[in-house]
């Protein structure tokens, strides 16, 4: 028993060492952080700490947005941008998916396409706008083509990579049941590649938005990019930031739309 007693005297709890490194969701933290930032910004401008010419208050920016909406100017610019964005994105996505599919399933397509796409992907597509203007004119076609080119490469790479990552055992399974090649493509390869393709859409949408604004700043009379540039030239910083806010909202809406599409199409995950 003396041994047992000495063990009891020596007893210490095992210290807990497993805490941390597991982020917990904190409700409302983002909204509160955002509100605090806006409040500081608003107060700083109202108290004269920051010049409203260089950085107008958030309330002024929202008021400018309202004025533009009532005057009808806003829709004129937004509608032009949306047409360019939709046209360029759809064209680039269709071509990118077709190229990605060819590279993914056809050996010759892969042998030719992968080096070609890899070599051209790093070129900043906005640098091709002057060339595209020479080829297609200053009108809509050159802007849409710039966006389409910017969308094409990430879409093609995402589609090719996603098709390449479809588990081979699923394809072998389909072949073992005698599914025709078209069915293997339609029922195995494309659904299997869909998560990767949709992830590529997020990247291509961001690129499309950047190229849209850049192209409109270079050669457009209407469009959100053109509007932001004109407001800057006239030192109308409230309107300039209203335009920037609009671009952010457009990006957020597109992201949310893609999120919904993903949740719908990939509900099996």
Partner 1 sequence: MRLVCESVGHRYGSLDVLDGIGLTVADGECVAVVGPSGCGKSTLLGIMGGLVEPAAGRVYFEGTAPAGSLNPITYVFQDFALLPWRSVAANVSLALEHHPLDAREREARVADALARTGLGEFRDAFPKQLSGGMRQRVGIARALAVSPAILLMDEPLSALDAQTRELLMEDFLALWLAARTTSVYVTHNLHEALRLADRICVLSRRPGRIKQIVAVGIPQAERAASAAAREMSILADRLWAAVREEAIDAEREIAHG
The residues binding partner 1 (CB under 8 A) are: 169-170, 172-180, 183, 187-188, 191-192, 194, 266, 268-269
Query: Which is closer to partner 1, CB of 16 or CB of 177?
Result: 177
Which CB atom, from 107 or from 176, has the smaller least distance to partner 1?
176
Residue with Cβ nearer partner 1 (127 or 176): 176
Q: How far is the CB of 261 from partner 1 (least distance, A)?
A: 15
Question: For residues 85 and 174, which CB has a smaller minimum distance to partner 1 in the complex?
Answer: 174
The conformation of residue 125, written as its DSSP 8-state character, comes to: G
Return the half-sphere exposure (C-beta side, CA atoms, 13 A cut-off) of residue 234: 11
Handedness of CA 209, 215, 218, 223 (dihedral sign): negative
Nearest approach, Cβ of 187 to partner 1 (angstroms)? 7
Residue whose CB is less far from partner 1, 11 or 264: 264
CB of residue 206 vs partner 1: minimum separation in angstroms?
Answer: 26
- Tell me whether residue 79 or residue 183 sits nearer to partner 1 (CB atom): 183
> Between helices 224-233 and 73-105, what is the axis angle to 10°?
130
Coil, helix or strand for 72? coil
Output the six-digit token pair for 184.
Answer: 């293997």
Whether the CB-CB separation of 114 and 121 falls below 8 Å is answered with no
CA 29 to chain centroid, in Å, comes to 24
CB of residue 191 to partner 1, shortest distance in Å: 5
As measured in angstroms, the least distance from the Cβ of 263 to partner 1 is 14
Nearer to partner 1, 123 or 173 (CB): 173
Cα gap 77→83, rounded to integer Å: 10
Give the closest residue to 55 by CA, choosing from 266, 244, 249.
244
Report in angstroms how near the CB of residue 61 gets to partner 1 at its nearest. Answer: 44
Ramachandran assignment for 72, one of left (phi > 0), alpha (psi -120 to 50 degrees), beta (any other):
left
Run of H or E including 177: none
Q: Smallest distance, Å, CB 196 to partner 1?
A: 13
Burial of 185 per CB tally in 10 Å (0-12, 13-18, 19+): middle
User: C-alpha distances in angstroms, 175 versus 161, 166, 179?
Assistant: 22, 14, 6
């Amino acid at each position: 028993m003396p041994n047992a007693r000495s063990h009891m005297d020596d007893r210490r709890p095992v210290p807990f060492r497993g805490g941390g490194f597991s982020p917990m969701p904190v409700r409302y933290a983002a909204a509160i952080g955002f509100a605090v930032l806006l409040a500081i910004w608003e107060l700083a401008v109202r108290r004269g700490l920051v010049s409203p010419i260089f950085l107008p208050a958030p309330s002024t920016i929202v008021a400018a947005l309202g004025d533009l909406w009532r005057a009808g100017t806003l829709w004129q610019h937004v509608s032009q941008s949306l047409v360019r964005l939709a046209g360029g994105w759809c064209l680039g996505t269709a071509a990118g998916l077709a190229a990605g599919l060819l590279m993914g399933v056809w050996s010759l397509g892969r042998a030719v396409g992968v080096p070609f796409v890899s070599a051209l992907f790093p070129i900043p597509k906005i640098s091709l706008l002057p060339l595209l203007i020479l080829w297609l004119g200053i009108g809509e076609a050159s802007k849409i083509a710039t966006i389409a080119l910017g969308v094409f490469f990430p879409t093609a790479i995402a589609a090719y990579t996603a098709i390449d990552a479809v588990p081979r055992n699923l394809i072998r399974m389909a072949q073992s049941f005698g599914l025709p090649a078209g069915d293997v493509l339609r029922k195995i390869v494309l659904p299997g590649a869909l998560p990767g393709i949709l992830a590529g859409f997020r990247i291509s949408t961001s690129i499309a938005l950047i190229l849209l604004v850049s192209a409109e700043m270079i050669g457009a009379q209407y469009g959100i990019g053109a509007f932001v540039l004109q407001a800057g030239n006239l030192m109308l910083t409230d309107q300039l930031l209203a335009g920037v806010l609009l671009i952010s909202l457009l990006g957020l809406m597109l992201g949310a739309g893609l999120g919904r599409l993903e949740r719908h199409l990939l509900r099996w995950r």
